């Protein structure tokens, strides 16, 4: 009986069965999600949704990693909000490679979701 030597996939990033072809993508999703969760846990920004998606790891992340994720999350958030305000929320946002991204819920919390009509 053969056993798989692959590490177990992070099931939070996909509901499909693990596949060797996307193991790198799943690993990136897992790492990014854990980094965001850690940065939120030590106060870099508030995200009430991420604790529901990702368990907090005991591993600490370097301050440079936390600052990098803060800069990316804050920058993308500001660009999306500016775009939504400019279009009066009459637009669509396509978030490619989002993984465990919580943008939808954060926009919903501030009543800035794009219109559905």
The 10s digit of each residue's pLDDT in 11-54 is 455 555 666 778 888 888 888 999 999 999 999 999 999 999 89
| CB distance 39 to 81 below 8 Å | no
pTM for the predicted model, two decimal places = 0.73
Sign of CA dihedral 106, 17, 6, 95: negative
DSSP H or E segment with residue 83 = helix 63-86
**Crossing angle of helices 63-86/23-41, nearest 10°?**
90
In whole angstroms, what is the distance from residue 47 CA to residue 37 CA? Answer: 9
Instruction: Identify the pLDDT of residue 82.
Output: 95
Instruction: Identify the pLDDT of residue 17.
Output: 63
Mean pLDDT of all residues in 93-102 = 81
Instruction: Identify the pLDDT of residue 56.
Output: 86
Which residue did the predictor score with more confidence, 5 or 47? 47
What's 102's DSSP letter?
Answer: -
């Amino acid at each position: 009986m053969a056993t798989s030597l692959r590490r177990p996939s992070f099931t939070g990033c996909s509901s499909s069965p693990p596949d060797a072809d996307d193991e790198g993508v799943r690993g990136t999703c897992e790492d990014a999600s854990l980094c965001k969760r850690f940065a939120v846990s030590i106060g870099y920004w508030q995200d009430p949704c991420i604790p529901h998606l990702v368990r907090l790891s005991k591993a600490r992340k370097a301050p440079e990693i936390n600052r990098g994720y803060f800069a990316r999350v804050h920058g993308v958030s500001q660009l999306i909000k500016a775009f939504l305000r400019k279009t009066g929320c009459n637009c669509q946002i396509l978030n490619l490679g989002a993984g465990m991204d919580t943008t939808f819920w954060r926009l919903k919390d501030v009543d800035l979701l794009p219109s559905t009509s």
